[in-house]
């Protein structure tokens, strides 16, 4: 992957919800400013995020702030045109929705659109629903090149000193308290204590690239300060 191409993460509802629940939406800004990662969501994901009665009251103002500040964007035709040009593959919203309508026979609507966009743009999707990924795999469907979990982002931000140990631990306890998914290794351990066993899928390198281990392999980001 060329360092000149625009790097995008496509977020699914559950992973994005966790970021907003913890109130650490600023990490999306750090991803953009320090690693050149643009965060996107499909409009189907936005609908799911704001329609979840349990969390929408908490999430809505934080989401709107992130949207207003440009930390995350709804994927539009204009974005696609720009990203397409950058990666050298032309992708349209219609193509994403056509692939999503096939995937959504098997998995949820929001995640179908998230993975469809990630597959066609050749970029990572960020989703916590590993069972949905297994279903796509079991049914021989095309997979995103990389699937990150919200805790891969939290772990990455901890390693990169964007989150302190205290903040990371707060994230874990907040999500546990809300009955949200946390990695098994962190259920009965601290954030830092469980991080190594979680096998974080996001790291840094001298160039933005990914391992050849498939969708669960490590994805490497390049710090902008390291750019030659």
By beta-carbon proximity to other proteins, the closer residue of 184 and 213 is 184
How far is the C-alpha of 192 from the C-alpha of 154, rounded, in Å? 11
Chain mean position to CA 217: 14
Q: Which CB sits closer to other proteins, 43 or 142?
A: 43
Using the minimum distance from each CB to other proteins, give the nearer residue, 82 or 187. 187
Task: For the chain, give percent helix, strand, coil, nearest 5.
Answer: 55, 10, 35
* Alpha-carbon gap, residue 72 to 200, rounded angstroms: 22
Least distance from other proteins to the Cβ atom of residue 152, Å: 11
Q: Between 35 and 63, name the residue whose CB sits nearer to other proteins.
A: 63
Distance CA 42, CA 20 (A): 16
CB of 184 to other proteins, least distance (A): 6
Please, which residue, 4 or 138, has the CB nearer to other proteins?
138
Q: Which of 186, 144, 161 is nearest to 18 (CA)?
A: 186
- What DSSP letter does each residue of 109-125 carry, written as one string? HHHHHHHHHHHHHT--E
Q: Are strands 209-210 and 219-222 parallel, antiparallel or unpaired?
A: antiparallel
- Name the β-bridge partners of 11: 41, 126
Least CB distance to other proteins at residue 136 (A)? 8
- Sheet containing 7-11: order of strands: 72-74, 37-41, 7-11, 125-126, 147-148
Q: How far apart are CA 114 and CA 125, in angstroms?
A: 7
| Shortest spacing between CB 203 and other proteins, in angstroms | 18
Min. distance of Cβ 31 from other proteins in angstroms?
23
Q: Which C-beta is closer to other proteins: that of 136 or that of 162?
A: 136
Q: Measured between alpha carbons, how far is 148 from 124 in angstroms, rounded to an integer?
A: 7
* Residues engaged in binding other proteins (CB under 8 A): 42-44, 47, 50-51, 54, 56, 97, 100-101, 104-109, 111, 113, 129-132, 134-135, 138-139, 179, 183-184, 198
Of 2 and 43, CB closest to other proteins: 43
User: Minimum Å distance from CB 207 to other proteins?
Assistant: 28
Closest distance to other proteins from the beta carbon of 78 (Å) = 14
């Amino acid at each position: 992957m060329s360092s000149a191409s625009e790097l995008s993460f496509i977020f699914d509802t559950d992973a994005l919800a966790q970021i907003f629940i913890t109130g650490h939406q600023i990490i999306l800004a750090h991803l953009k400013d320090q690693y050149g990662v643009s965060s996107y969501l499909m409009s189907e994901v936005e609908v799911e995020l704001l329609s979840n009665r349990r969390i929408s009251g908490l999430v809505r103002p934080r989401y709107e702030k992130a949207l207003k500040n440009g930390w995350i964007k709804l994927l539009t035709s204009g974005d696609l045109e720009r990203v397409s040009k950058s990666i050298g593959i032309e992708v349209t919203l219609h193509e994403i929705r056509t692939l999503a309508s096939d995937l959504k026979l098997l998995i949820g609507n929001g995640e179908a659109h998230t993975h469809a966009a990630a597959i066609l743009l050749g970029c990572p999707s960020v989703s916590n629903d590993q069972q949905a990924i297994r279903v796509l795999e079991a049914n021989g469907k095309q997979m995103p090149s990389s699937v990150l979990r919200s805790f891969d982002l939290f772990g990455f931000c901890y390693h990169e000193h964007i989150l302190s140990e205290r903040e990371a631990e707060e994230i874990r306890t907040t999500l546990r308290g809300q009955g949200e998914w946390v990695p098994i290794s962190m259920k009965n351990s601290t954030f830092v204590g469980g991080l190594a066993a979680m096998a974080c899928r996001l790291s840094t390198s001298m160039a933005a690239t990914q391992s050849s281990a498939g969708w669960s392999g490590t994805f490497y980001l390049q710090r902008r300060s390291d750019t030659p």
